[in-house]
Structure 1
Amino acid sequence: MLKGLGNSLAARQAARAVLAACIIGLFLSGLEVAWATWRERGKASELVEQMLDLMEGSAAAAAWNVDEALAQQIGNSALSIGAIAGIEIRISDDQPLWAHHRALPASTAGNSTIGRLVFGDLARGTRILYRPQDDGREKPPIGLLRIDLDMALVSADYIAFVGSSLLGGLVRNILLGLMLTWVFHRFLTRPLVELEQAVAGIDPDNPRDTRVTVPPGHERDELGRLTQRINETLDKLDESQGQLRQLATRDPLTELPNRALLLERLEHALSRARRTKRGLAVLFLDLDRFKHVNDSLGHDMGDRMLQGIAQRLAETLRHSDTVGRLGGDEFLVLVEEVREPKEAIQVADRILATLARPLDLDGHQLHPSASIGISLWPSDGQDARQILRCADVAMYAAKAAGTGCWRMFSAEMSEQAMSRLRTEARLRAAELRGEFELFYQPKMDPRSLLLRGAEALLRWKTDEGYVAPGDFIPVAEETGLIGPIGDWVLGEACRQAAAWRRQHGDLPVAINVSPRQLADADFPNRVRVALAKSGLPAHLLTLEITETVAMTAATGDFAMLRVLRDIGVGMAIDDFGTGYSSLSHLRRIPLTVLKIDRGFMQTVPHDVAIPATILELGQRLGLEIVAEGVETEPQRDWLCDMGCQTIQGFLISRPLPAAEFEDRFLVERARAAG
């Protein structure tokens, strides 16, 4: 309690007030004492002079006549005055005529001590006696008159005054301090305490709802201004908290609930579902081909597309439903009070129909679509984490089935998702284990069947055997592992081609390049390093990209492709005719090779319209034409007739390991040449 009192502003202020009052009072009392001392000393000095004046004539007569009786009579008369404590009449310093000192009571010893301290220099008065003359005093002197004052009596009034003054001043100072303390408490400390209590009662989550009231009578002073500043700070705090809540719970681009708020609402929805025994559906949306929009039209247009889709989703759903953005091109929809799975399906169909309407952005007609995965509570999981994971798995199943569709979660999907995770984990360690290898498929002249080159194709061999490229390449693309895997393919293909060149002569080799590799600004440097490290001339390496990736590069005016072409490597468009090529762009791409997709070759020689068009287009552009998927002699014969320079397919050979490819084609080529 004492510690708390010591920390109290009121207690400290009271102590300061009392101390200040005492110091001021002591100073004033000191002035009064000094004035009283000066006054009493004057009175004592005047008394001594008066007594000496009264006794001087008679004492001089007694000393002249050496009249001891007269001296005694004079002395007794003087001693009858209370202020005189002793008297001496001397004829000389060593010859007294008469002297007497009155004994002082012991009770006055204290006063005598104080009196001697204050009036010590005035306690004895001395006057030289001269022979009485009508014309005044003349030397030589005839005696000495000396009187001693009673210091206790002389200083009694002084001591009483000083004591009463100091005591009165002390009482006055204490009363003044207490009065100042009350004034400070009433007009300063108490309003501050009320202000403190008001501030302590502020709700930190809703500061604007609690206003601090200005203490009465302080509207215009410092306390009033302090209160006003506190309220202004509360307003700014509320505004800042609102902005922080917006940033913490809302997606800044679409203003939809973000991942954190979605998870919180999902937990609340699950709690309500458990209480009401009503179902809950979670719809996981992933936009189709959104990356293509971003790459081809720019990120600003992509952002506007996301805003338009967010607005459509918000308008499509009920007020009781929740839609939010998880990030990127992923959205989440919570549908409560679902009695049957078909209700969730109806919501998914309604969303797909809404998104399918064309979206006009600055003259660009976009046709959005989404893949939707649906999971249900309680059948697909009991907690938010399970429900979300199941919806995510179902969404990937919908995306695998094609664009613009939905899939309900099933146990089989979970097994597929686990398999995909195992593939990803094993894929990360495949290079360290040396499980990757390159197979080579020959490219030949369709007329002479002479070897013109080879395409390097990645294979993954595990303890269980080879993993199909279609099973691990998409996983590598989605996880970003395609970057380091692609670098390994680049280095290994250059190394092998350089080794074959030293033994068998030049052999052009082509490798496939992923979109992630082309998006990396450092990719040209890695191509240079691979060529330099292996010693392979640049013109013997061809980089194959898909038609869609080539068109994506158009946004940068094919700058990356031009840098690669400047290195000296060849550039090929793979699977031409399956993407979204623009003929105007095709003229600007720094190409050397155009490949006809194997899907178009399947109809040859019965339906040749598209392959013939591609062949004629490539020839007019001065490009080498490579026909993929050639499997029959009629196909080869037709390509010979059309002037196709290179064929590739199972008619010639399947992709082969490097050693087998070398024995079958390179060694044979050397023998034929020999």
Structure 2
Amino acid sequence: MKTYTTYKRLIAKTVILSLLTSLAVALLYGMYIKKRAIDDLARVDARKTSRMAFEALYSAMEKGWSKEELDSIIIRLNKVEPNMRINAYRSPIVAELFGERLQDKQIREHDPMVADAMRGKDILTGDEEIRYLYPIVVKQECLACHTNAKVGDINGVIDVRFPVGNLKISLTTMINSFIIFFVVFTVVIFSILYFRLNSLLVQPLKQFITLIQEIISKNDMAKRVSLKTKILEVKNIESYFNRMLDSIQDYYEKLQELSDRDYLTGLYNRRKFEEFLSYEIKRSVRHGHKFTILMIDLDNFKYINDTYGHASGDLVLKEVTEIFGSNLRNADILARIGGDEFAVILPETPYENGYAVVEKLRSRLETTAISLMFDQITITASFGIAEYPEQGETIESLQTGSDLAMYKAKRAGKNTIARADQSDQEMAAEIQKKGEFLRTAMEEDRFEPFVQSIYNVQTGELYGYEVLARIRDGKRFMAAGQFIEVAESLGLAAKIDQIILTKGLKLREEKGMWDKRFFFNLSTNSLFGGEYIPLIQSHYERNPDLSERTGVTIEILEREAIHNVNGLMDIIEAMKKIGISFALDDFGSGFSSFVYLKYFDTDYVKIDGEFVKNITVNEKDRIFVKHIHQIAQEFGKKTIAEYVEDADTLQILKEIGVDYAQGYHYGRPEPLQ
């Protein structure tokens, strides 16, 4: 098992190691100084001493002193430094002229170093005791007395002996040695600190930063940090950072799943389906094969929602998903692209084979009973088939072809399979006609904003208005339900939203209704387009009394939010910073409603009218409304009840504590007065 050290222990170890290293350096350097003293300083000192002794003796000899007087000088010299001994030995030349001394002759004969020195050799030797033999060479001035000698002869040897401990080191040498030692010591200490901290702390942190940069640049949440270090604190950074990455990756994968998949059924959503369809077209072009796509719309699904409730409708959608999924191949792609609409890609499957697959799906769906509360039901669907490339060579043409085929199956009596052909031009023309009607209405400026009042349930005070789209058609006005589906299918919904938002804000300014909050329904295409943002910002700038009540609220439909949860979260967060609030519309109509409270930072929850309109007679609906309100309160959100059509309903909402309400009891949608 690998062991780790703490940062404090590392510092302590480094200091101790540095201290031991410095002591070792000091010891080695001391030995070096000692050796240098022996090799260099001893020679210099001994030469100086020998020279001084010689000069003293030579001075005496010049005066004609006797040998007894010369011996006396040597004795006095030895007394100057008790531990040092100085001797002078005559050479045979001097002995011949001035007389031999017994001890000199014995030394010359028995001491080989003295004999070598008599031959002119300068000798330095010894470890514990230094011995220096200095030969006295005859010079020209010496010939006056030493008549039997010639220049270059040896007159004698001065023998100097002293212990190593008596060596004297100069102040300069000591200062230089201290400076050198201090420099070496400092270099050693900082080198150890640098390399230890660099290898155990700096390098792991650099590695850590590099890995973070790599994770950010590649957006790779699967990477994990692994640091080469023995420091416990650094290892803890690795551990906690990897745990954080685990949490982020889990959150990211959930968001990615919400972005790519339908939350209720787990199937791919429309956006992901279109990505797969684009890929399959490219693959088919490359390999030259055909494939089939299906558009499936459940028959009479609204009846199930109205009869059994939206929760039961969600259960049916999940059961249908299971039926379709169990009867398709692994390579087939199944997606939920709308409330009760499904789509399938059958790769490398021509029309004939695709038809057999669809018939199998139709038959299994028709004959499979679905348990619903205390009842069992069966459900059917209308299937539209389009083949690549016969019905189209682009995403748009294939989707249009399969949509036309699905509408054809609906018109044929439902629970059928259809393929679009030339005879379907009438249906296509009808859709085109509706589209032209909408475009003409835009060109003629016949879209009008209607408003429906929203009241404070507890005080009875008018709180604000929901702005709704209407088309002026002669003397009548068409409600959004009559054209919004076609507008969405033709990609016109975002333009309609822009028109209604622009006119609604303008009317608010003209009427000076700054003390009431305005609610607008915007499609996801409008939200992601972002063109409404500067419009609302400029509206805010013209507000003479900007406050919490004077703002704008955007309503989000659950069926639209489900297609891009991740992106919608970012939009809500950004828009709230500039004062735009959000409401979650038709809350409770889908299985995933409560999940959106977790992900979307909305300010209001609009309780689906299907729960509200029957609370006076249906105890279960009252329970639903009560708990939706309580949960919204826990999340810090205000509740708005829809479909309030009488005083009894309003009274129950008041008892529950619902914040706001709208419906025919307060008034129908009408032009802003």
* TM-score (normalizing by structure 2): 0.42
Higher alpha-carbon Rg: 1
Q: Which has the higher contact order (CA 8 A, sep 6+)?
A: 2
* TM-score (normalizing by structure 1): 0.42
